[in-house]
Structure 1
């Protein structure tokens, strides 16, 4: 993971603001990039939640929202009546914030996690919500007075934004593509042609093969970061490779009946790359990659194969899939504009035969007024109607594993910690490989 700074490329912000006001008067999503539009139409959502030593009320949670909006002005986009870049009126703050009183924090944050469908229920309200549960009796034995949660359309926020806001830093995007860094014409042409040819197939397959709506589950794990670092060093693999292997091996199960596959686990994972180019999205920093992890019942063998796969993928040209994906988003949006009944509701439940999405967000380290009083672990994740997702959120002391998955997989989450215990206690041969990672 290279960079998640909020820096962007030069643009005339005053001119953009004037264009924004005119555009959103006709279409609230007019300023969305094709990637943003795709995530909005899919009703993808993200969440951030953490316990706090502070006891929130309506005024303090309203102040928190005002600070968020000043650091992440994209939160003012995407709804009818929006004034991009401007503070919210009090009646809007009241509508998107909520305080509730609880006796204890038992079951939090899992009992709070959901698809967040309510975000899209009111077209004249911002596409995010902020809520807090406050303990009636004051701080508990751990000093926690409240738990706070931010939920948003994924079109507005990504993991790097959450990390920046946690540090009280600007998460404004500007123009994220680097038009001065153009990929070779032939590379762009081949990737774009593949994207366009795949789009119609993708839409057709999506409507024919999409699964029915299934019960969805939500669960989190918090594991000491140092514990995982030590094990990754013993195994001779990247820490993220260990995360990926623990989740996919634990969820796939042992024996002949596998939840994912007996041969290959199909995964998509995300990473950040500071080497931006002209074909990148103008809003999102993240890049998506596809991987196939060859299955082995032997975890040691499996995790090292996962690490080799990650190494091979990231040493090749990681821009090809990105260009193809950007072309698909653009083509689907154009298709929807011409024929509004396409791509269809079933399309959004098509997972393209990917078993699981693995997302590693940048480290979340609290600092400054935005997260004053918040304590680790910090939980951060995403929901998509077609994807089993595990989001890894590293902090100073903990890494949280945040699962939004089909209900049938949630019961297997506990197998991950059992697997971790077993591997830590086992003897295995050292690997003749040195992995150097930034912390």
Structure 2
């Protein structure tokens, strides 16, 4: 995982707040970039959850939210009556926070997880909620007094924001594209043409082929980082590749009972790239890549093939796919502006042959007042209609896995740990690890 930063690139002066207020008074999403608009229209949501040694009450939780908004002012955008950049009054803080008393933490955080569509229903409230469950009789044997969860529209927060907030650092978004690093006219034109063609093609195919809604579920898993590091070294692969291989191999199942594919697993995965260009989105730092993992029964052969696939993808120009995607978002927004009935509800249930999205967020390491008292493991995750998603969240001691997917795949989640146990016991022929792999982190 490459380094990440909250810094933005130099650009034109930001619009005065009064102009921003005027814009959002007519259209609450007027300040959204095309990528933000896409995620808002798709009703994509994200969550962050962790246990804490702090016992929250309503005022304490409200103070935490006020501090969070100060560090991530984009949370003041996107709803009717929004005043971008201004702190929330107390009645707003009270409306978006909640505290409940519980006897034990059994079943948390999984019992809290869901699609979070409720945060989008009341259009005159901010597009996020913060909730805490507090143990009635004080801290448990592990010192945990409460569990906290932040749920948000994905249009406002991404994984790097969550990582920055966990460290009590600013997650404010300036101009995230680099206007000084201009793509060639040919590359830009190709991206625009491919993006426009993809948008039209997806609208047509989605409205013809989109599957019906399927039973959906959520589950989390926490693995010790040290175990993963040792096994990655033993197999001679990147830790990232090991994570991708563990979940895809386990979720796909064995033999003739495979639930994703018998030949090739279509995957999209995300990473951060500090080499920005002028065609990048002005809000999101994330970069998406597309991969195809050939299905191989033996896990050692499979994980090494996944590692080779990841290496080959990242040795190429990793901006190409994201440029096309950004152009597609822009085309979809333009089409919707002219024909509001498009892209249509079925569009959001069409995944274009992608079996799973693998999201590796930057390391979440608690530091400072925002996360005082918070303890690992820390969980992050996302929901997007009809998209199987696995979110990997590395901390100091744990890497957590959050699964949002069809329930038929969730039935195989337990196989991830079983596969890990088996590989730790198995004797493996050493593979010389390239220096670039040995030095890379998860």
Task: Answer yes or no: is 1:114 the counterpart of 2:114.
Answer: yes
Provide the C-alpha distance between the structure 2 equivalents of 1:213 and 1:100, rounded to a whole number of angstroms.
Answer: 32
- The equivalent residue for 2:97 is 97
- Are the equivalent residues in 1 in contact too, given 2:11–2:179 (CA < 8 A)? no
Provide the TM-score with structure 1 as the length reference.
0.99
- The equivalent residue for 1:230 is 230
- TM-fit CA distance, 1:185: 1.3
- The equivalent residue for 2:213 is 213
Task: Answer yes or no: is 1:424 the counterpart of 2:427.
Answer: no
- The equivalent residue for 1:406 is 406
Bigger CA drift: 6-15 or 114-123? 6-15
- The equivalent residue for 1:162 is 162
Counterpart mapping for 1:35-434 below 5 A: 35-434=35-434
Aligned to 2:284, the other structure's residue is in SS state coil
- TM-fit CA distance, 1:207: 1.2
- TM-fit CA distance, 1:12: 5.4
- TM-fit CA distance, 1:15: 2.8
Aligned to 1:8, the other structure's residue is in SS state coil
1:351-405 CA-to-partner distances (Å, cap 9, x unmatched) read 1110000000000000000000000000001000021000000000000000000
1:321-352 CA-to-partner distances (Å, cap 9, x unmatched) read 11110111001001011000000011101111
Bigger CA drift: 409-418 or 160-169? 409-418
| Alpha-carbon RMSD | 0.9
Provide the C-alpha distance between the structure 2 equivalents of 1:125 and 1:379, rounded to a whole number of angstroms.
Answer: 25
Bigger CA drift: 182-191 or 359-368? 182-191
Provide the C-alpha distance between the structure 1 equivalents of 2:200 and 2:85, rounded to a whole number of angstroms.
Answer: 37
Bigger CA drift: 6-15 or 157-166? 6-15
- TM-fit CA distance, 1:13: 5.4
- Are the equivalent residues in 1 in contact too, given 2:238–2:441 (CA < 8 A)? no
Aligned to 1:15, the other structure's residue is in SS state coil
Provide the C-alpha distance between the structure 2 equivalents of 1:57 and 1:25, rounded to a whole number of angstroms.
Answer: 33
Provide the C-alpha distance between the structure 2 equivalents of 1:227 and 1:331, rounded to a whole number of angstroms.
Answer: 45
- TM-fit CA distance, 1:257: 2.3
Q: Unaligned stretches of 5+ in structure 2?
A: none
Aligned to 1:46, the other structure's residue is in SS state strand
- TM-fit CA distance, 1:256: 1.3
Provide the C-alpha distance between the structure 1 equivalents of 2:337 and 2:432, rounded to a whole number of angstroms.
Answer: 55
Aligned to 2:46, the other structure's residue is in SS state strand
Aligned to 2:257, the other structure's residue is in SS state coil
- TM-fit CA distance, 1:19: 2.5
- TM-fit CA distance, 1:214: 1.2
Provide the C-alpha distance between the structure 1 equivalents of 2:441 and 2:161, rounded to a whole number of angstroms.
Answer: 20
1:80-110 CA-to-partner distances (Å, cap 9, x unmatched) read 0000010001111111001000000000000
Provide the C-alpha distance between the structure 1 equivalents of 2:242 and 2:15, rounded to a whole number of angstroms.
Answer: 47
1:24-60 CA-to-partner distances (Å, cap 9, x unmatched) read 0110000000000000000000000000000000000
Provide the C-alpha distance between the structure 1 equivalents of 2:64 and 2:209, rounded to a whole number of angstroms.
Answer: 43
Cα distance change, pair 16–206 in 1 and its aligned pair in 2 (3 A): farther
1:146-205 CA-to-partner distances (Å, cap 9, x unmatched) read 000000000000000000000000000111000110111111111221111121111111
Q: Unaligned stretches of 5+ in structure 1?
A: none
Counterpart mapping for 1:3-42 below 5 A: 3-11=3-11, 15-42=15-42
- TM-fit CA distance, 1:18: 3.0
- TM-fit CA distance, 1:210: 1.1
- Are the equivalent residues in 1 in contact too, given 2:356–2:388 (CA < 8 A)? yes
- Are the equivalent residues in 1 in contact too, given 2:239–2:441 (CA < 8 A)? no
- TM-fit CA distance, 1:16: 4.2
Provide the C-alpha distance between the structure 2 equivalents of 1:267 and 1:427, rounded to a whole number of angstroms.
Answer: 29
- Are the equivalent residues in 1 in contact too, given 2:50–2:378 (CA < 8 A)? yes
